[in-house]
Structure 1
């Protein structure tokens, strides 16, 4: 069964805007991640991530704020572990240049690679699929990413 994906605004900043994704009209993926941290009593980590979002928003989504997570050909990145205070949680996202980031979901990484964690692997595969669809929509002229904005077809199926 196909999933309905909706790209929604999350935070607006001077240099970079943050978006998230909603799957089938559910809560946005970034809020699901935040709720996991709250449930697991990792509020310090959540505050640290919020501070990192503010830095990304102020300076732009520069590579130094991220770590490649997917494959060379995709735009999947993660917030590096050193931005998380007390845990091994990972947050995955799509990074488009320095002005647009689409926040995904994540979770606790207790293995060497995300591929060994079924939940994390699922999140990365989902973002890779969304990234591929976004690239197709851009080529067809149905979606545009420029000037900190994503415009056009913000709802699609994968």
Structure 2
């Protein structure tokens, strides 16, 4: 239960100050914006996210860390893989103009499937 309260405190901080890059720890590849809320002190609860900008953050699922890395976790790996795919699709659509960033909004075609071509 302790981890839950830490997550809520982080979410409150993000709500007050924005999704500033310094609040997060990247977990995907450099530049994809995928990471984890950094809760280290005696906590194995993980909440993964995709950071689009200082004002746009997409949360994914998470869970209890049960392996040395998300890649080795049967529970967490599917969530991260889906989030990395989402990052790729969003970046591709921003680049080709199908999605536009406007302040706190993503405007455009936000519908996609996991196995859709970019």
TM bucket normalised to smaller: 0.7 to 0.9
Counterpart of 2:82? 126
Matched, 1:53 2:11: yes
Q: What secondary structure, in the 3-state scheme, does the structure 1 residue paired with 2:79 have?
A: helix
TM-score (structure 1 length as normaliser): 0.65
TM-score (structure 2 length as normaliser): 0.85
Deviation of 1:101 (Å): 0.2
Q: Is the 8 A contact 2:45 2:62 kept in 1?
A: yes
Q: In structure 1, list runs of 5 or more residues that go unmatched.
A: 1-41
CA distance in 2, matches of 1:54, 1:145: 23
Query: How many residues align structurally?
Result: 114
Deviation of 1:146 (Å): 2.7
Candidates 72, 87, 98, aligned match of 1:142:
98
Higher fraction of strand: 1
